[in-house]
Amino acid sequence: MTSAVGLYNSLGLPEPWRPASSDAEPTPLIIYGAGSAVGAFAVQLAQRSNIHPLICVAGRSAAYLETLIDRSRGDVLIDYRAGDEAVVQGLTKALGGKKALHALDAVSEDGSHNNIVKVLGKGAKLTMVLPKKESDATPDGVEVSWTSVGSAHGTNKDFGFVFFRLFGRGLAEGWFKPHRHEVVPGGLGGVQTALENLKAGKASAVKYVFRIGETEGVAGK
């Protein structure tokens, strides 16, 4: 839902039930943190909306993202691990010298915002999943917003009502897939291991799942 609010409410892109025309001008969309759950869902929704090229910034999740993007439509992956300068260069190259008008920052930390705004044009919209810091610069003519999933249960509850049902249909039809998951052995006894993996950066494009019934000491064990 965060992805949907960001793409369609904050950025105003065409919804999946009225996708962009294949004959229309390309609509470059930057998705920073594309390997995250929010980012990966945004990639899938953007595909359904026929939005291309998708300019995805990610790290070790590249192999997973290759299964979601469409290289034939100009979609690209940029590795943030190469450093900020390389990321900006990659974004500039992917845009073919033009400026982007739409960007979803699914990270909103560690300078991601500052990298994105360097390739945005006048009239561009950038939405972030965390509030913008006062120290983050924003060029004139660029609209920066904070996408909060809570709005789908409040001011945008009709929007949420429709999209939650679309997600159900997408899952049933197979064009919308959940984030990859990994079951950690030992039930709740595996939480420490999972936390250590997260801290060490070993978890990439994956969600950890714990089966409480497998916890040592739980009734029946």
pLDDT score, position 27: 93
Q: What angle do CA 203, 84, 126 make, to 5 degrees?
A: 85
Cβ 205 vs Cβ 35: under 8 Å: yes
- For residue range 173-206, what is the model confidence (pLDDT) as tens digits? 999 999 888 999 999 999 999 999 999 888 888 8
- The pLDDT of residue 23 is 87
Q: How far apart are CA 105 and CA 22, in angstroms?
A: 25
What confidence score (pLDDT) does residue 220 get?
59
pLDDT in tens, 1-43: 999 999 999 999 999 999 999 888 899 999 999 999 999 999 9
Phi, psi of 103 (to 5 degrees): -150, 135
- Superfamily grouping for domain 2-173: NAD(P)-binding Rossmann-like Domain (3.40.50.720)
**Residue 79 token pair:** 């590795």
* CB distance 185 to 214 below 8 Å: yes
For residue 136, pLDDT beyond 90: no
Does residue 207 carry a pLDDT above 70?
yes
Are residues 180 and 204 in contact, defined by beta-carbon separation less than 8 angstroms? no
CA distances from 75 to 28, 61, 106, 134, 221 (A): 9, 15, 18, 32, 49
> CA–CA separation, 127 vs 188, rounded Å?
36
How far apart, in Å, do the first and last CA atoms of the chain sit?
Answer: 37
Distance (Å, whole) CA 55 – CA 111? 17
Residues forming CATH 3.40.50.720 domain(s) in the chain: 2-173
Q: What tens digit of pLDDT does each residue of 45-62 get?
A: 999 999 999 999 999 899
Res 135 pLDDT > 80: no
Residue 137 has pLDDT above 80, yes or no: no
Q: What is the C-alpha to C-alpha distance for residues 150 and 2, in angstroms, rounded to an integer?
A: 9
pTM of the model: 0.90
In whole numbers, what is the pLDDT of the chain averaged over residues? 93
